[in-house]
A and B are shown apart, each in its own frame.
Chain A
Amino acid sequence: MKTTKRTLLKLALAAVIVGTPAAAVAEDWEPTRPIDFVIMAGPGGGADQIARFIQSVAEKQDMTNRPLVPNNKGGGSGAEALLHVGKARDADHTLLVTLNSFFTTPLRQEKLGIDTETFTPIAMMGVDPFVLWVHKDEGITDFESFVEKVKTADGQWVMGGTGKGQEDSIVIAYLSDAFGLKIKYIPYDGGGAVAKDLAGRQVMATVNNPAEAKGFYDSGDFVPLLAFSDERLPAYPDVPTMKEKGHDFSYYNQRAVVGAPGMSDEAAAYYRDLFSKIYETAEWQGYLKSESLSPLWMNAEEQRAYWAKQVENHKKLLAAMEN
């Protein structure tokens, strides 16, 4: 057979057709560029850990034809990330890994002009509970003696947490209001730094997520006193909840993936399918369990309703904190 230019071309074409997986033809939309996977927090915190975990699961199972590229934009309690995603030029390739500053930051900084209602709901991967921790050398083993000790400290009890108006400060404000405690609040730039300064006894107590405090709990340095969850946490069955102490308050950090405003319906459908698959993997289910996250799967409609509810809820909490 004579190899002409034409036969070569035909062969090349055939190779392209054979090489294209059938799935790509069946699906309406697939990413054509690497996906900007924006994280509302700096490297090392809870949101960052989750984003990188999700990325690695997708990578390991070969679930996307283009990679998820983590992009930390933690400045200004996540305002930097919200602005970046809110003004994304390529909405179909921009996703945001959120925490509750998704609700609080737009409320606290109205002049940034961020309207989270315009964002596209994708997936609720779980919610992260809060737990009250003290160092073991504090000599406290139950919540009642904690209250007593804070009261005797008379304003000199120091607690660390994330930035003002963020999750930790909301929980601590509610706690001190409910039990009439005077607490000195020191803001840090992330949950990791807070846990470290509790381990070094620079602060006396924190409300870290279990994932952030787990290492020190395992080594016996941290003592959990109270969980801010609806029910007792399976990993900490002896720790009472705020509700058991007579206050109808629970607080979780949302671990949700959100799309940029103006994302096409096809792209949103693709990502919802992708993240529901990731959610079902043994890896993610294992992560939820080991890090004490609660599953809270929702469809897009339910997520929107959840956002609206959370925004209202945070308006009240922030207003109460101001007073």
Chain B
Amino acid sequence: MLVSIQPLNLMLIFVGVAVGLFIGAMPGLGSVNGVAILLPITFLVPAGSAIIFLAAIYYGAMYGGAISSITLGIPGASTAVATTFDGRPLALQGRASLALVTAALASFVGGTVANVLFTLFAPVLATVALSFGPPEIFALMLLAFATFVGLGGDDIPKTIFSICFGLVLASVGFDQISGEPRLVLFEMDGFLQGIGFLVLAIGVYGIGEMLWTIEQTRGEVTTTNANLTVKGMFSDLREASQRAWKGTVIGSFLGFFVGVLPAAGATPGSLMSYGVAKMVSRRPETFGKGNPDGISAPESANNSASTGAMLPMLTLGIPGSPTTAILLGGMVIWGLTPGPRLFINETEFVWGLIGSFYISNVAALLINLAFIPLFVWMLRMPFTILAPMIFVLSIAGGYAATRNMHDIWMMVVFGLGAFFLRKLDYPLAPAVLAIVLGPIAEPTLRQSLLLSSGDPSIFFTRPIAGPITVIALILIFLPALQFVRRRRRKAMA
């Protein structure tokens, strides 16, 4: 613990968090890029300081992602896509500072809860993560879909259509298990690599949102009303803690747990938390229209999950997310062997790192709160100036992520498609969820069925998978039952 408060490490934490905040706020660039780009720099400092620096970047990026999601409506990183669902509407209502404060506060709580859980239960949780085989992971994915279908208040057939559409997009490209190319549309090589999640998210939320706003304002020069005083920010802090605590609690715990499972990571964690927060809410219809719980759930979850994802990396040597995979590479270079022995052989390193999480978290909160007035001020620009900026940022961000022109065209296509689907009242969040979870759900489904020789009862008979599957199925069919019952009542009356 003392390791993390040495002057060098403290400085690295602050620099790392600030860099991460910026990288996270840039659309397309996420913590993966930040950590990968800065990895070589870390050879200048001792190994312990190096990973603390990278962890600070990782943390900062989780905070930063929310900034562009809220102010511009473009997800700054894949982990912040769910933050746009409610963050952007709230900003458009002139409550950008409430949205940003909620995000910062939720991130802080999520990070802290995860740190405490990590400190207390790391070895136990590693065993829990190991007990999740393919059937358990698939059951969990099913549950995630169920939270989006069930009890939403949205049009259920349209939601299901949206999920299926996302799943089809997710299966484009190489089949993960057999290696065969599938659904290579028009025989274009660009589709061989599949449809990137960021390409869809930036297309739908960056370009689609821009088109939507242009149509709504019809060329009028509009500015978003966004005043900010110190007093205002304090009252926002109070309001955030009153109106967003439920989402924060859900996100903090669920996010951590999903992050701990290898292969999942912070993006599924934040989307699932959003779904659950909406499901348990007494007024689910306010989600997607600027409900603070819809911001606090994904934001607390992505920070919580990013700490959680460190756990399988350190204890099992298996990365829980793409970013931790790169951190893992770093550890090998520094001469540390991640795995069950790390907690015993390198105690100083492990606890120094965990200590740095706590400090990174405080640093990120302070830096973030200090900059909120600047971000809010950005929103006061007239939309005629903001729109081209959003467009350029979307295109540049999309290209930075994949370095492929094909993806830029796809982004434009998705943007247009999203605009029309939105006019027809199709919810788009489920499609985004499906393209994130599809690539996890499909291989685990197939692996499970291979394990059971094709018998689907494997999802019901295993002690962990069974209950999860049953809950998921109930959630999916409950609305259908209610629908039938309501009809029958009508027929009787």
Q: State A277–B329 Cα separation when bound (angstroms).
A: 21
CB B166 to nearest CB in A, in angstroms, measures 19
Q: Does B174 contact A (CB under 8 A)?
A: yes
Q: Does A76 contact B (CB under 8 A)?
A: yes
Q: Does A31 contact B (CB under 8 A)?
A: no
A residues in contact with B36, CB < 8 Å: 70
Query: Interface stretch among B125-133, B201-209, B220-228?
Result: B125-133
CB B73 to nearest CB in A, in angstroms, measures 29
B residues in contact with A105, CB < 8 Å: 179
Q: State A130–B263 Cα separation when bound (angstroms).
A: 24
Q: Binary interface profile of A, 136-164, with partner B (CB < 8 Å = 1, else 0)?
A: 00000000000000000000001000011
B residues in contact with A87, CB < 8 Å: 189
Residue of B nearest to A166 (CB): B179
Task: Report yes or no: B130 in contact with A216, Cβ–Cβ below 8 A.
Answer: no
Q: Does A80 contact B (CB under 8 A)?
A: yes
Q: State A108–B92 Cα separation when bound (angstroms).
A: 53
Q: State A192–B318 Cα separation when bound (angstroms).
A: 6
CB-CB under 8 A for A79 and B450, given A43-B322, A53-B332, A56-B40: no
CB-CB under 8 A for A215 and B316, given A109-B180, A202-B134: yes
Tell me which of A76, A184, A188 has the highest count of chain B C-beta atoms within 10 A of its own C-beta: A76
Which chain A residues in 152-184 approach chain B with CB under 8 Å?
Answer: 158, 163-166, 184
B residues in contact with A166, CB < 8 Å: 179
CB-CB under 8 A for A193 and B262, given A79-B192, A218-B341: yes
Beyond A186-B450, A199-B316, A218-B340, 14 additional contacts (C-beta under 8 Å) are: A53-B332, A56-B39, A56-B333, A75-B173, A77-B174, A108-B179, A109-B181, A186-B134, A189-B177, A196-B318, A215-B317, A216-B317, A218-B341, A221-B340
CB A160 to nearest CB in B, in angstroms, measures 9
Task: Report yes or no: A59 in contact with B450, Cβ–Cβ below 8 A.
Answer: no
Q: Binary interface profile of A, 47-81, with partner B (CB < 8 Å = 1, else 0)?
A: 01100110110011000000100100101110110
CB A97 to nearest CB in B, in angstroms, measures 12
A residues in contact with B173, CB < 8 Å: 75-76
Q: Does A30 contact B (CB under 8 A)?
A: no
Interface range for A: 35 or more
Q: Binary interface profile of B, 170-199, with partner A (CB < 8 Å = 1, else 0)?
A: 000111111111000000010011100000
Residue of B nearest to A215 (CB): B339
Q: Does B312 contact A (CB under 8 A)?
A: yes
B residues in contact with A243, CB < 8 Å: none
Q: State A180–B135 Cα separation when bound (angstroms).
A: 29
Task: Report yes or no: A163 in contact with B325, Cβ–Cβ below 8 A.
Answer: no
CB B347 to nearest CB in A, in angstroms, measures 15
Residue in contact with A195 in the complex, picked from B39, B134, B174, B318, CB distance below 8 Å = B318
A residues in contact with B40, CB < 8 Å: 55-56, 59-60, 67
Task: Report yes or no: B132 in contact with A163, Cβ–Cβ below 8 A.
Answer: no
Interface range for B: 35 or more
B residues in contact with A202, CB < 8 Å: 133-134
Residue in contact with A79 in the complex, picked from B181, B330, B332, B443, CB distance below 8 Å = B181
Q: Does A197 contact B (CB under 8 A)?
A: yes
CB-CB under 8 A for A75 and B174, given A49-B332, A158-B451, A219-B339: yes
A residues in contact with B130, CB < 8 Å: 196, 199-201
CB B313 to nearest CB in A, in angstroms, measures 9
Q: Does B233 contact A (CB under 8 A)?
A: no
Q: State A216–B312 Cα separation when bound (angstroms).
A: 13
Task: Report yes or no: A196 in contact with B316, Cβ–Cβ below 8 A.
Answer: yes
Q: Does A214 contact B (CB under 8 A)?
A: yes
Q: State A186–B326 Cα separation when bound (angstroms).
A: 26
B residues in contact with A192, CB < 8 Å: 262, 317-319
Task: Report yes or no: B318 in contact with A187, Cβ–Cβ below 8 A.
Answer: no
Q: Does B43 contact A (CB under 8 A)?
A: yes
The 5 closest A-B pairs by CB, nearest first: A215-B339, A76-B174, A200-B130, A202-B133, A43-B325
A residues in contact with B325, CB < 8 Å: 42-44, 48
Task: Report yes or no: A48 in contact with B43, Cβ–Cβ below 8 A.
Answer: no
B residues in contact with A43, CB < 8 Å: 319, 322, 325-326, 329
Q: Does A83 contact B (CB under 8 A)?
A: yes
A residues in contact with B174, CB < 8 Å: 75-77, 79-80
Q: Binary interface profile of B, 332-359, with partner A (CB < 8 Å = 1, else 0)?
A: 1100011111100000000000000000
Q: State A219–B322 Cα separation when bound (angstroms).
A: 25
Interface residues of B (CB under 8 A from A): 36, 39-40, 43, 129-134, 173-181, 189, 192-194, 262-263, 312, 316-319, 322, 325-326, 328-330, 332-333, 337-342, 443, 447, 450-451, 453
Residue of B nearest to A195 (CB): B318
A residues in contact with B317, CB < 8 Å: 192, 195, 215-216
What would be 24 A-B contacts, judged by CB atoms less than 8 Å apart? Answer: A44-B319, A44-B328, A48-B329, A49-B329, A53-B329, A53-B332, A59-B43, A70-B36, A76-B175, A76-B181, A77-B174, A80-B174, A109-B179, A112-B181, A163-B178, A164-B178, A186-B134, A189-B176, A192-B319, A196-B318, A200-B131, A215-B342, A219-B339, A219-B340
Task: Report yes or no: A188 in contact with B262, Cβ–Cβ below 8 A.
Answer: no
CB B257 to nearest CB in A, in angstroms, measures 16
A residues in contact with B312, CB < 8 Å: 196
CB-CB under 8 A for A163 and B341, given A44-B319, A52-B333: no
Residue of A nearest to B128 (CB): A200
Task: Report yes or no: A215 in contact with B193, Cβ–Cβ below 8 A.
Answer: no
Residue of A nearest to B126 (CB): A199
Residue of B nearest to A156 (CB): B453
Task: Report yes or no: B39 in contact with A76, Cβ–Cβ below 8 A.
Answer: no
CB A74 to nearest CB in B, in angstroms, measures 9
Task: Report yes or no: B192 in contact with A216, Cβ–Cβ below 8 A.
Answer: no
B residues in contact with A48, CB < 8 Å: 325, 329
Task: Report yes or no: A163 in contact with B176, Cβ–Cβ below 8 A.
Answer: yes
Task: Report yes or no: B339 in contact with A164, Cβ–Cβ below 8 A.
Answer: no
Q: State A56–B326 Cα separation when bound (angstroms).
A: 12
Which chain A residues in 234-276 approach chain B with CB under 8 Å?
Answer: none
CB A189 to nearest CB in B, in angstroms, measures 5
Q: State A219–B123 Cα separation when bound (angstroms).
A: 13
CB B404 to nearest CB in A, in angstroms, measures 9
CB B136 to nearest CB in A, in angstroms, measures 9
B residues in contact with A112, CB < 8 Å: 181
B residues in contact with A200, CB < 8 Å: 129-133
Q: State A219–B317 Cα separation when bound (angstroms).
A: 12
CB-CB under 8 A for A163 and B179, given A44-B318, A70-B36, A158-B451: yes
CB B34 to nearest CB in A, in angstroms, measures 14
Q: Binary interface profile of A, 102-140, with partner B (CB < 8 Å = 1, else 0)?
A: 000100110010000000000000000000000000000
Q: State A83–B189 Cα separation when bound (angstroms).
A: 9
CB A191 to nearest CB in B, in angstroms, measures 10
CB B132 to nearest CB in A, in angstroms, measures 7
Q: State A188–B444 Cα separation when bound (angstroms).
A: 9
